[in-house]
Amino acid sequence: MSSELVQILEGNTFVVSDDRGDIEASLTDPTGLFSFDTRFLSQWVLTLDGQRLNALSTDDLHYFQTRFFLVPGTGTVYVDAKLSVIRQREVADGFHEELRILNHESKPVSLKVRIDAASDFADLFEVKDALKKKGRYETKIAGNSLVLRYMRETYCRETWISSSSPARMDQNGLSFAITIPAHGEWKTELDVVASIGSEDQPAQGVTRIRGERRVRRDMTRGLEKWIQAAPRLESDWEPLELIYRRCLTDLAALRFSPLTMPGHALPAAGLPWFMTIFGRDSIFTSLQALPFSSELAATTLLALAERQGTRIDDFRDEDPGRILHEMRYGEMTAFEERPHSPYYGNADATPLFVVLLDEYERWTGDIKLVERLEHAARAALNWIDEYADLQRNGYVSYQRRNAKTGLENQCWKDSWDSISYRNGDLPGFPRATCELQGYAYDAKMRGARLARLIWKDPAFADRLEKEAADLKRRFNRDYWVEDGQYFAVALDTDGRQVDSLTSNIGHLLWSGIVDKPKARAIARHLLGPRLFSGWGVRTLAEGEARYNPIGYHVGTVWPFDNSIIAWGLRRYGFKEEAAHIAAGILQAAEIFGGRLPEAFGGYPRSLTKYPVQYPTACSPQAWSTGAPLLLLRTALGLEPTGENLIIDPALPTWIGHLELLDLPGRWKRIDAYGRGRVDTDRLLAR
Amino acid sequence: MPKADARSASLASDPVTRFFAVLAQPGHLETFEGESATLRFEVLDGERVDRWYLTVANGDVTVARRNGPADVVVRIKRPDMEAMLTGRLNAQAALLRGLLGFDGDVAALMMFQRCLPGPPGSTGKVAPITSKTVMAERRAS
């Protein structure tokens, strides 16, 4: 099988195939047509007279469209083709494939064209964990369609396959017996539709096929409109324009419409495996993108509010007021073998929900949405004190109640070894990581602003501010590691400091919970040799027992993390330090062709010369895509204040001139200009 | 109509009737604050269809035993409905599994599920775990 994988997608429907356009999946192999977390095609193999094809080239026309140029034969040294095959595929509710065969000879040719089709209807979780199916399969021919069906009790999923040219359908696929005239062409259009089937409505798949063409036209228009609506960027440093363009296109691909809000999009977490609502990722990406598009934030807020927790459910780690962690639609979720219906196990999305709501209002002035979400925001604020203070010590902490399939670490660093003492020991549970206290503080302060300004409840605002001040006072006392001059990453169950030095301290600046006199020491650490690699801030400092430059949360550099840190540095007036973070990450982005990975190695820059990509399954990742956008904001010092946008640039010298034109917001449209004056060469040479 | 009376008497103690009676009792639900929608539930009991018509108007709730056009019509078998209303079946899972069918506005259904109880036995509590236990578990795995 050809090794290179090709992905196209729309919403949560995506196709992963080899470079011939063929799909030959096994239970553990991640190729196929996927929709709503279910694989609807695990086999889709094209042959001519029983012979496989050979890829000449693949064109990614759009994120939802690919064209494969193929010839018969199996890839010997050279190709002497008398036929060529063009497969153009577009994703919608399944996919649409235009298959063209060109005869280059001066005599007619007769061929048997065959497509083998099958589906295992695997849940994404099953693909990941290689689990066996529990239901039964059926294949039938209904009118002009081949229908693949999977059933388990009342659960039913179907794949409808049809062709515009007459095909002979059988249990294993479609065949065409064709003759192509001399120098002629044969063409057919194939539709594959993923359907939530049921015995009562066998026609559902067919109805959806008819809607296909209109959907596709809208998709191309939608992408153009999206790019055009975004602010224009001009810079003396040319790669920046490429990075910016890449971010906008990737963000467009990551847009996901919740079922309850057709026509509105929020950022899903990553492509293709995380094309779903994630509380934390959707919120952070919306925050990063706010200066460029506020629609993502609005949809995220509404969709998360709609699914906000309302009850105690230990299986889903749900509490009243809690914002969800992850939503899934596959078979294992349906049968409650996984808790993602939705799963609520995170401790940060709830305060961050309030943070996003306030930041959204600052940019847009959309008071209506803040009024509409008053109840949800109050419930979120209530969750912080009533349900998240697990140890009744005034700090937000987390511990999963679903010990079997729940998440152990419910902060953004969610791998098992991410939170450790200096000596490498892991703390017990509950854990009160430091950034959660920062988010809670910020949520209370921002909630107070909204309460006073929009909900007209000054008493509630006073109470929130008083609680925030108290939290800040206690936090600066209890988390401060005196002998290191930074904040501990967490407090353990005994209230003891989990004392390693981590990037989390940068998030604390962003939240504003750091006492002013302590901020200088924090900034020094963030740009110091133990944390700053020359490309960015490491998740865990060099010198800690668990430090590993290619450990997921224990030494790699995360672009998303760094963008929040840069924002934090700006908040405390460290403009030049923020410019350094922007410089390192944007230079890395240039090397990665404009698309930043989720994380890259924390090796010193002088050692590897190039950033070493951490291998992850998803690319692009939403919050990595959002990182350059937020860094543009921090570099230009964009800060909405009242009805105005403050612009206070601090750019690396080598960026030269930078313009962002037509920034949308409550001021309608504004242009921002800056010129590079910060010399970043010395620190980046590290 | 003595026959209908006998039926409503026998239903008075069933979980579905009880659930809607309790829902209508306060007349206002905080979780529906700012929301308005109409829902018709068709509870299938063998050949019989029992209907409940739920009106939510800015958080105010009224329940009637009647037919009529609604934003969303929900069809579900009685045992599944009872399981859902007592927290033994998650509404989203029921929807994905095909136990619950609907016509109309899915947002209204999403709103409704907020008033459903959590699973019986969920306490919201969990015993703390020490650092020692965490380290021992890691060594074992």
ipTM: 0.92
Query: For residue A27, is pLDDT > 70?
Result: no
Residue B76 parent element (H or E): strand B72-77
Tell me: do A552 and A576 sit in the same domain: yes
The answer to whether residue A472 is domain-embedded is yes
Three-state secondary-structure class, residue A473: helix
pLDDT for residue A275: 86
The answer to whether the CB atoms of B110 and A155 lie below 8 A apart is no
Nearest Cα to Cα of residue A278 among A235, A233, A324: A324
Number of independent structural domains in chain B: 1
Sheet holding A136-142, edge to edge: A53-62, A65-72, A83-91, A94-103, A185-195, A155-163, A145-152, A136-142
pLDDT for residue A74: 62
Inter-residue contact A628 to A244 (CB < 8 Å): yes
What residues contact residue A291 under an 8 Å CB cut-off, 6+ apart? Answer: A231, A363, A629, A632, A633, A638, A660, A663, A665
The answer to whether the CB atoms of B134 and A426 lie below 8 A apart is yes
Which one has a higher pLDDT value, A613 or A519? A519
pLDDT for residue A186: 98
User: Which of A217, A246, A270 is the C-terminal boundary of a domain?
Assistant: A217
Tell me: do A368 and A400 sit in the same domain: yes
Q: Give the minimum alpha-carbon distance from B86 to chain A in angstroms, rounded to a whole number.
A: 12
Tell me: do A188 and A235 sit in the same domain: no
Cis status, amide bond into A620, omega within 30 of 0 = yes
- A77: pLDDT confidence band, cut at 50, 70 and 90? low
pLDDT for residue A595: 94
Inter-residue contact A344 to A321 (CB < 8 Å): no
The answer to whether the CB atoms of A375 and B30 lie below 8 A apart is yes
Q: Give the minimum alpha-carbon distance from B124 to chain A in angstroms, rounded to a whole number.
A: 6
Residue A279 and residue A303: Cα distance in Å, rounded?
Answer: 10
The closest CB to that of A429, out of B101, B114, B129, belongs to B129
Residue A80 belongs to a domain with what CATH number? 2.70.98.40
Residue A479 and residue A496: Cα distance in Å, rounded?
Answer: 9
The answer to whether the CB atoms of A260 and B106 lie below 8 A apart is yes
Number of independent structural domains in chain A: 2
pLDDT for residue A682: 85
The answer to whether residue A492 is domain-embedded is yes
User: Which of A192, A217, A242 is the C-terminal boundary of a domain?
Assistant: A217
Nearest Cα to Cα of residue A342 among B81, B114, B31: B114
Domain limits at B48? 2-140
Tell me: do A275 and A132 sit in the same domain: no
Query: For residue A159, is pLDDT > 70?
Result: yes
The answer to whether the CB atoms of A493 and B131 lie below 8 A apart is yes
- A515: pLDDT confidence band, cut at 50, 70 and 90? very high
- A218: pLDDT confidence band, cut at 50, 70 and 90? low
Query: For residue A79, is pLDDT > 70?
Result: no
Query: For residue A487, is pLDDT > 90?
Result: yes
Residue A519 belongs to a domain with what CATH number? 1.50.10.10
pLDDT for residue B21: 93
Residue A168 and residue A141: Cα distance in Å, rounded?
Answer: 10
Amino acid at A184: G
A112-158 per-position pLDDT tens digit = 999 999 999 999 888 777 677 899 999 999 988 999 999 999 999 99
Domain limits at A462? 230-684
CA-derived radius of gyration, chain B: 19
The answer to whether the CB atoms of B131 and A400 lie below 8 A apart is no
The answer to whether the CB atoms of A492 and B131 lie below 8 A apart is yes
**Interface with A, mutate which of B56, B126, B133, B139 (most A CBs under 10 A):** B126
The answer to whether residue A223 is domain-embedded is no
The closest CB to that of A198, out of B98, B119, B138, belongs to B98
Tell me: do A252 and A177 sit in the same domain: no
- Chunked into runs of 10 residues, chain B (141 residues) has average pLDDT values of 46 84 90 94 95 96 96 97 97 94 93 96 97 94 81
Residues of B with CB under 8 A from a CB of A: 30-31, 33-34, 87, 90, 92-93, 96-99, 101, 106-107, 110-111, 114-119, 121-126, 128-135, 138
Tell me: do A204 and A346 sit in the same domain: no
Tell me: do A548 and A639 sit in the same domain: yes
Longest Cα pair distance anywhere in chain A, in angstroms? 88
pLDDT for residue B108: 95
pLDDT for residue A152: 95
A435-478 per-position pLDDT tens digit = 999 999 999 999 999 999 999 999 999 999 999 999 999 999 99
Tell me: do A338 and A381 sit in the same domain: yes
Residues of A in contact with B111 (CB under 8 A): 306
Inter-residue contact A425 to A550 (CB < 8 Å): no
Three-state secondary-structure class, residue B95: helix
Tell me: do A174 and A278 sit in the same domain: no
Please give the mean pLDDT across all residues of chain A. 92
pLDDT for residue A574: 98
Residue A287 and residue B9: Cα distance in Å, rounded?
Answer: 56
The closest CB to that of A336, out of B90, B121, B132, belongs to B90
Average pLDDT over residues A555-564: 98
pLDDT for residue B8: 53
The closest CB to that of B128, out of A331, A387, A429, belongs to A429
The answer to whether the CB atoms of A155 and B96 lie below 8 A apart is yes
pLDDT for residue A1: 37
The answer to whether residue A125 is domain-embedded is yes
Tell me: do A84 and A173 sit in the same domain: yes
Inter-residue contact A55 to A2 (CB < 8 Å): yes
Query: For residue A221, is pLDDT > 70?
Result: no
pLDDT for residue A58: 86
User: Which of A217, A241, A275 is the C-terminal boundary of a domain?
Assistant: A217
Q: What percent of chain A has pLDDT over 90?
A: 81
Q: How many A-B residue pairs are in contact by the CB < 8 A criterion?
A: 108
Beta A13-18 vs A32-35: how paired, if at all?
antiparallel
A614-665 per-position pLDDT tens digit = 877 678 899 999 999 999 999 999 999 999 999 999 999 999 999 999 999 9
Cis status, amide bond into A597, omega within 30 of 0 = no
pLDDT for residue A61: 76
The answer to whether residue A630 is domain-embedded is yes
Q: Give the minimum alpha-carbon distance from A312 to chain B in angstroms, rounded to a whole number.
A: 5
The answer to whether residue A538 is domain-embedded is yes
pLDDT for residue B9: 45
The answer to whether the CB atoms of A416 and B126 lie below 8 A apart is no
Two tokens at A182?
Answer: 């001399």
The answer to whether residue A469 is domain-embedded is yes
Nearest Cα to Cα of residue A447 among A382, A366, A515, A390: A382
The answer to whether the CB atoms of A336 and B115 lie below 8 A apart is no
- Terminal-residue alpha carbon distance, chain B: 68
What is the pTM (predicted TM-score) of this model? 0.94
Tell me: do A242 and A207 sit in the same domain: no
pLDDT for residue A617: 64
Average pLDDT over residues A581-609: 95
Tell me: do A359 and A394 sit in the same domain: yes
